[in-house]
Amino acid sequence: MFRVTLDGMIAVFLAIILCSVFFAWVAAEIFQKGRENRRRKFFVICGICDHVFEDPSDHDLAECPRCGAMNEREKVIEI
């Protein structure tokens, strides 16, 4: 058997808790980025009226709901 003091047990317990919270935080950030990238894939910005809209179809051209202009899909870059 190992002789463990109360201070050692508390330190190990706190280290395990902190590591699990850190890894849960990292996993949540990774999953959130993936969801944002999937959602942003369908965003289209109109070249005429600068209206940002979502078009989930697979067509190369998307019609703007505000002005009716046809827009090519481009990757939306966040500033």
Give the global pTM. Answer: 0.56
Listed in sequence order, the DSSP H helices in 1-79 are 6-40
Residue with token string 């395990």: 16
Q: What is the pLDDT of residues 11-52, one digit of tens each?
A: 999 999 999 999 999 999 999 988 887 777 788 888 889 888
The pLDDT value given to residue 17: 98
Can you read off the two tokens belonging to residue 57?
A: 């179809």
Give the model's pLDDT for residue 79. 60
**Residue 53: strand pairing partners:** 44
Whether the predicted pLDDT of 60 surpasses 90? no
More confident call, 71 vs 7: 7
Amino acid 78: pLDDT? 63
